[in-house]
């Protein structure tokens, strides 16, 4: 419906009531006019079309926005047409019946005239309802009296026919907003099967339902919130008793109803009016208390953030100092590495020189030994000759 967003919960919450209502409303209409083709503008999940197929309607088409979950549809997806209802909708064909229930109030006021024109382009007979002013509901942005819509339909030659609401007003299973708002708008040709004298030309059309009164009143009377459901049940029971010809009122539950604390709800729930100024003052006081609490929490948060920022700054400074120290040590290690490499090269050079000198010393030692041996041999020759002479002399003597 329009450009607003609708959650899955919204449709699930309204699905049962819509389907039950359709199963009671459509038979009442079909006894006068049985359509073979129906289009539902703003169909949601298709509850009304599903009820229509149960009654033998063979051709249905539902129109709504992309927000509708296709897997949850109660009609075949092939029978669903996606369209933004806040803009013009044109199908270039007509149906035996067009349905548009509790949809128009979700569309911008500027769309009102063209929306009615789109509906009249779809069928000679339109089953229509729209929320009254102050009815309340999810994203109701264009609540209007039924007379407003009737005037727009009149431009196209459509008259309102009011023969459904009286039978639905107290029907169990029909949502009260349908009982309150449901009308037939149709051309003279389309109305030939409807009950005589059901056309409304100058009589009022807008009749707020008592349950609309009770639901809205619960928003402004402090005890009526607890009493609302009991009051609604009491009204429906009283209405059914009246319609059945009873001469004794049924039991009134409200007389003995109690709130959560056990205090009687009647008659205070009907006479005690909320003091708006007192409630506003209480809300403002509560807001001030919450603002104070928010301010205190804000100071605590800011203090904690400041402390954490200081801690982070200290850690960042420490990390920076450690980084500089690491860089310095890396530089020193690099320098020491160069020195070690230089010393290693020098050591290798000294070692090579030492090996060379050792080879030279060994060579000189050999030369010296040879020279020594040669000199000793020559110097000891006279001794050796003397020893030989003495040896020979001794042999002769012996």
Take residue 52 and report the two structure tokens written for it: 């229509």
Is 380 part of a structural domain of the chain?
yes
pTM here? 0.61
- 320 and 235: one domain? no
Containing 159, the helix (H) or strand (E) segment is: strand 159-161
At 92, is the secondary structure helix, strand, or coil? coil
- 237 and 184: one domain? no
Containing 290, the helix (H) or strand (E) segment is: helix 276-379
Estimate the crossing angle of helix 8-30 against helix 47-54, to 10 degrees: 40
Task: Measure the CA–CA gap between 380 and 372, rounded to whole angstroms.
Answer: 12
Q: Which of 100, 158, 155 is nearest to 124 (CA)?
A: 158
The DSSP symbol for 190 reads G
Is 293 part of a structural domain of the chain?
no
- 118 and 240: one domain? no
| Residue 112 near residue 150 (C-beta atoms within 8 A) | no
Three-class SS of 7-57 = CHHHHHHHHHHHHHHHHHHHHHHHCCCCCCEEEEECCCCCHHHHHHHHCCC
Q: At residue 366, does pLDDT exceed 50?
A: yes
What pLDDT is recorded for position 9? 52
Q: How far apart are the first and last CA of the chain?
A: 159
Name 327's Cβ contacts closer than 8 Å, sequence gap at least 6.
none
Is 286 part of a structural domain of the chain?
no
Q: What is the CA radius of gyration of the chain?
A: 54
Q: At residue 271, does pLDDT exceed 70?
A: no
- 13 and 148: one domain? yes
What pLDDT is recorded for position 129? 97
Count CA atoms closer than 13 A to 367's CA, side-chain side. 6
Q: Which residues pair with 80 in a beta bridge?
A: 62
Domain of 228 in residue numbering reads as 224-271
- 118 and 30: one domain? yes
Count the Cβ atoms, other than its own, within 10 Å of residue 87. 13
- 231 and 371: one domain? no
Is 309 part of a structural domain of the chain?
yes
Asked if residue 267 has a cis previous peptide bond (ω within 30° of 0), the answer is yes
Residue 243 or residue 314, greater confidence: 314
Digit-coded pLDDT (tens) for 328-363: 888 888 888 888 888 888 888 888 888 888 888 888
Is 276 part of a structural domain of the chain?
no
- 336 and 253: one domain? no
| % of residues, the chain, pLDDT over 90 | 42
Q: What is the dihedral of CA 335, 339, 340, 344, to 10 degrees?
A: 150
- 36 and 121: one domain? yes
Q: At residue 142, does pLDDT exceed 70?
A: yes
- 42 and 181: one domain? yes
What pLDDT is recorded for position 1? 39
């Amino acid at each position: 419906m329009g450009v607003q967003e609708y959650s899955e919960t919204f449709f699930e919450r309204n699905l049962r009531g819509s389907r039950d209502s359709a199963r009671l409303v459509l038979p009442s209409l079909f006894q006068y006019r049985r359509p073979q083709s129906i289009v539902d503008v703003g169909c949601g999940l298709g509850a009304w079309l599903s009820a229509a197929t149960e009654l033998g309607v063979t051709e249905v088409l539902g129109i709504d926005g992309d927000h509708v979950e296709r897997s949850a549809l109660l009609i075949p997806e092939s029978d669903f047409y996606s369209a933004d209802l806040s803009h013009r909708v044109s199908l270039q064909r007509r149906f035996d019946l067009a349905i548009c229930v509790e949809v128009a109030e979700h569309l911008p006021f500027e769309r009102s005239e063209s929306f009615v024109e789109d509906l009249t382009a779809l069928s000679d007979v339109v089953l229509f309802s729209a929320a009254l002013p102050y009815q309340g509901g999810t994203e109701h942005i264009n609540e209007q009296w039924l007379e407003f819509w009737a005037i727009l339909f009149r431009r196209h030659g459509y008259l309102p026919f009011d023969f459904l609401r009286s039978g639905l007003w107290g029907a169990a299973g029909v949502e009260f907003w349908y009982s309150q708002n449901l009308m037939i708008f149709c051309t003279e040709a389309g109305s030939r099967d409807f009950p005589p004298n059901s056309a409304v030309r100058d009589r009022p059309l807008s009749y707020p339902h008592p349950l609309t009164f009770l639901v809205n009143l619960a928003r402004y009377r402090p005890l009526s919130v607890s009493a609302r459901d009991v009051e609604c049940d009491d009204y429906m029971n009283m209405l059914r008793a009246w319609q059945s010809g009873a001469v004794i009122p049924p039991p009134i539950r409200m007389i003995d109803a109690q709130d959560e604390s056990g205090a009687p709800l009647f008659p205070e729930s009907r006479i005690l009016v909320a003091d708006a100024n007192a409630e506003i003052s209480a809300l403002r006081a509560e807001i001030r208390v919450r603002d104070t609490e928010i301010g205190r929490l804000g100071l605590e948060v800011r203090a904690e953030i400041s402390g954490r920022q200081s801690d982070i700054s200290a850690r960042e400074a420490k990390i920076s100092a450690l980084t500089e120290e690491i860089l310095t040590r890396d530089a020193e290690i690099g320098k020491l590495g160069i020195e070690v490499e230089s010393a290693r090269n020098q050591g290798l050079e000294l070692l090579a020189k030492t090996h060379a000198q050792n080879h030279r010393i060994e060579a000189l030692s050999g030369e010296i030994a040879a020279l020594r041996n040669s000199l000793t041999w020559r110097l000891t020759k006279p001794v050796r000759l003397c020893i030989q002479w003495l040896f020979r002399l001794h042999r002769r003597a012996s």
